[in-house]
Structure 1
Amino acid sequence: MHVEHHDLAQEFPEFKEQIHTLKLEDAHFARLFAEYQQVDKAICRSESGIEAMADEALEEMKKLRLHLKDDLYSRLREAAETTE
């Protein structure tokens, strides 16, 4: 079964430059980004059958990924607005 990663640059291609810049210049953004990547990989490993995870744990991980994605998106929009 093919499981799709939710890479932030693919999710928000219009913010690719801001993602790169913020990862280098904003430690909090970089930490959130790393956590998002880690959670996304764990979800993909579980969904592809590589690592077992209880259904409840998987759902919590998906909620966390969504929360992180929302937070990162807000920060990306703010960064884009300040550079315009």
Structure 2
Amino acid sequence: MLGENHALIFDFPEYRDVIHHLKETDEAFAQLAKEYHELDHKIRGLEVNAVPTTDENFVALKSRRVALKDELHKRLLNGHGG
């Protein structure tokens, strides 16, 4: 769905408290979460506003978002950022 918000708390609601805790206590997790959030915002902006971009750029942005999400999910499963 175009423009769908993929914020971590929406995609992983069962980890809401862990996400908040790690953002406050783990600098590496917080940095990855910030990059993920900014990238998701950029992708949604491109989709919703129909901003022209190349397919290669769009795929690269979405691929990076998936890689970040996978890394963040692994850290959430550990229950700590590392």
The alignment's TM-score, normalised by the length of structure 1, stands at 0.87
Secondary structure of the equivalent of 2:79? Answer: helix
User: What is the alpha-carbon distance in structure 2 between the residues aligned to residue 54 and residue 45 of structure 1?
Assistant: 15
1:14 aligned partner: 14
Q: Is the aligned partner of 1:53 residue 2:79?
A: no
Q: For residues 1-80 of structure 1, what are the structure 2 equivalents within 5 Å?
A: 3-49=3-49, 51-79=51-79
Secondary structure of the equivalent of 1:5? Answer: coil
User: What is the alpha-carbon distance in structure 1 between the residues aligned to residue 70 and residue 24 of structure 2?
Assistant: 20
User: What is the alpha-carbon distance in structure 2 between the residues aligned to residue 34 and residue 51 of structure 1?
Assistant: 23
Percent of aligned pairs with the same amino acid: 37
Over the aligned positions, Cα root-mean-square deviation in angstroms equals 1.6
Q: CA deviation at 1:54?
A: 1.5
User: What is the alpha-carbon distance in structure 1 between the residues aligned to residue 55 and residue 49 of structure 2?
Assistant: 12
List gaps (5 residues or longer) in structure 1. Answer: none
